[in-house]
Chain A
């Protein structure tokens, strides 16, 4: 008994002390990464990974509340580091940053166009494998260098990477880009047939300073950047995926050709694949509900018949958007919609023979798009702002 007790005490003492400071780090010894940019640097045949990290400077944050902001000094520190591999580049940050990079609060990963065209699978492995990284981080592609994006302003956020993340979330209100989180992207990347799309971000000028703007999407084929979707095509993709949360549909009035806008309230989609005599066809059924947001044309909406004309036009606009996306996908032979997976789920046996040739089959399949669009409410006024 006494022996056991002493032994227990010793074990406890040793355990408490030796386990001691495992992975212990104070808040002021870590560099909180807010955004990471990935580029490649090529010199001849030699390829190096260049990472750009946007690091939060808490000291500046605290100063901003009381004292003056100190002019040009930014609240973030943007550092570049190169290495043979991603992890190597990450470790090389320790040579120029006094603190160790801390990833769990990373908001965005921006991949430069060149790096993306070379293939993202090797680049993202670190972000999936390392325990500090989160799947919730937003993934974006930019035309040009990712490092430039992270050095630009984004929205009104003090920390640009936070701003980019906010843009991605706010993007749902327009549904003109495909926001994509890392975990979802990686899931799609593992599929043999689906070509995932992510938001595309680009530089614009705002108040004489470089700022960022989301514009359309970029899609990958076989882990490599294959092309860009413009805003209409992006929304077409979102319609099919049923991911449209909100947005404005502008339709022209039958009377004058002036525009009315309809706000999307909710939208759902169904993808139903069919297999007949060895040929695949896909039915896409999209149900949409919208409210009348404004009308700039003095169109009389008090009559149900006239309102149903608008509904029909609304359907047409949606259909056009969807068809634009389908056209682009067919051109690039990229199954951005994940039709392949739908077929696989419904016809798992037949799929096996199709899987390898899906890239060739996909552009040929028949896609029927059916839209059921409705207008629910017309707002607080009924008649247009015109004297009777």
Chain B
């Protein structure tokens, strides 16, 4: 059915495009190249930038044998003023060597001399295109123009106020690194590099967003990641010809495999260690400038149940917790539905003593169980939304009101049965165990509640079968979403229901196709070494 919808929408899109006669590529504004005449070029740049007030133009003379007029252009607030001062202005204005340049030397030679001998900045590019220069100015570079020289120097002086690296608010860990990505792309790529100091870690860059011109980085391990996957990611990203990319979520929706599915097929994280681990497993990371959230593809369903903590703590408890997470997810989507169906269709399934207690609690409550569940579910979602949106101090007030007024009073007033409050509370807590499936869980809970209210456990069964059918049809960048469970890849189960000790995880997951699946030597189990190992240690 979703396939049908997708085809319909594509068809409509083509129809609109044809009727309007607009080609998918917008006609770009023509910007002329630099003329070489400084004052004319400056005017041109100013007009391209719409005479914005944050554009700084500093004109000065270079004291060569013959005075040459020059100008630097930059955007206030996006440049590091100290860099501009020390690496551009000071050498150009105060350099005594410049006067020694031969009088006959033309502007070409002068430009080369300036580039190689005078400017002390590390990153200098030359371009004849005014468009590129304007792009540079807008990205925080400084553009140097020389009179009589039809090219511009783009000198990297980017420097703006950034948030310092702090502990991410999403996925906190008990044990493990506390740092999280920030909004600046360069800092983020550096953080990833610090985790993986391997020459094979490739970081490719592209720009997306016609207006925002957001820098995007694709990071992967060249000798591990499947080249087809890398190409696919690049192709899909290049297709994204949009106005703006303000957050990685913009990209996610353009590159995911199942746009109509409620399940995400692109992974997210804002922790460098998590992203490093995913890249090391052969995945591709997509980093977006301006957001700490980094995308990884392909995403498997089981990743929602894996936490960074699992790998940093010892395997036994981690395995137990992982089982708990699977259980908690099922509870979070099914518990209200089961309660509804059991109390309205299958009272015979409840143990007798429990039935008496439940019946006692339901006594005198005015609404059917389904309405109760929907009301409490809605109240909970509102509370959650309110506490997320509210400023922190107010958030506390919201939770107090929610807990006391709605929980306690609704029961004492006889509006809601006490079991329903317990059910909603348990469901809510269980849903927080798998934060990546939080939104999916809410939708599924409503879906199962409706089915159970209509058809009881039979309805839940139908719903589960439907959900399963849907899950097995989804893919994420060619990888079946449910693997390694369906299709069953037995060797990968080491990291699904259980988390086996690190020394048993010698191979990378097979679910993701890759070049090199050997992670480490087998049999690195701690304990007595039978062969050369002790000798080596003695030598050292």
Contacts and interface: CB of A to CB of B under 8 A. Distances in A.
A58 B356 contact: yes
Contacts of B362: 26-28, 58
A89 interface: no
A107 interface: yes
Given A28-B365, A59-B360, A62-B360, A16 B454 contact: yes
B176 interface: no
Nearest to B451: A16
Contacts of A8: 1
A24 B343 CA distance: 9
Interface string A131-142: 010100000000
B347 interface: yes
Interface string B317-360: 00000000000000000000000000111011000100111111
Interface in A1-45: 1, 5, 8, 16-17, 19-20, 23-28, 30, 32
A25 B456 CA distance: 11
B377 to A, nearest CB: 18
Interface string B383-412: 000000000000000000000000000000
A23 B344 CA distance: 8
A27 B364 contact: no
A2 to B, nearest CB: 8
A135 B234 CA distance: 66
Contact of B348 (A62, A105, A107): A105
Contacts of A104: 347-348
A25 B346 CA distance: 9
A56 interface: yes
A105 B355 contact: yes
B116 interface: no
Determine which residue in A26, A32, A104, A132 has the highest number of CB atoms from chain B within 10 A of its CB, and name it. A26
Given A5-B4, A24-B344, A19 B454 contact: yes
A297 interface: no
B364 A28 contact: yes
A59 B356 contact: no
A162 interface: yes
How many A residues are at the interface, by size bracket?
Answer: 20 to 34
Nearest to B417: A27
Contacts of A102: 347
Contacts of A23: 345
A187 B245 CA distance: 75
Contacts of B363: 28, 58-59, 62
A307 interface: no
A104 B369 CA distance: 20
A58 B368 contact: no
A61 interface: yes
Nearest to A104: B348
Interface in B443-466: 454-456
A62 B347 contact: no
B485 interface: no
B138 interface: no
A159 B352 CA distance: 12
B361 interface: yes
A24 B371 CA distance: 14
Contacts of A1: 4
Contacts of A25: 344, 347
Nearest to B450: A16
A27 B343 contact: yes
Contacts of B344: 24-27
B345 A27 contact: no
A5 B1 contact: yes
Contact of B347 (A19, A30, A59, A107): A30
A61 B357 contact: yes
Contact of A19 (B358, B360, B455): B455
Contacts of B358: 27
Contacts of B361: 62
Determine which residue in B345, B363, B364 has the highest number of CB atoms from chain A within 10 A of its CB, and name it. B363
Contacts of B365: 28
B253 to A, nearest CB: 25
Contacts of A56: 356, 359
Contacts of B347: 25, 27, 30, 32, 102, 104-105
Contact of B352 (A17, A62, A105): A105
A5 to B, nearest CB: 6
Nearest to B455: A19
A5 B454 CA distance: 22
A107 B356 contact: no
B360 A58 contact: yes
Contacts of A16: 454-455
Contacts of A17: 454
B454 A32 contact: no
Contacts of B1: 5, 8
A17 B359 CA distance: 27
A102 B357 CA distance: 16
Given A25-B344, A27-B347, A59-B364, A20 B356 contact: no
Given A26-B369, A27-B355, 4 more contacts: A5-B1, A26-B343, A59-B360, A104-B347
Interface of B: 1, 4, 343-345, 347-348, 352, 355-365, 368-369, 454-456
5 contacts: A20-B454, A27-B362, A28-B364, A58-B362, A61-B360
Interface of A: 1, 5, 8, 16-17, 19-20, 23-28, 30, 32, 56, 58-59, 61-62, 102, 104-105, 107, 132, 134, 159, 162
- The 8 residue pairs across chains A and B that have the minimum distance between CB atoms: A104-B348, A62-B360, A58-B359, A58-B360, A27-B362, A61-B360, A59-B363, A58-B363
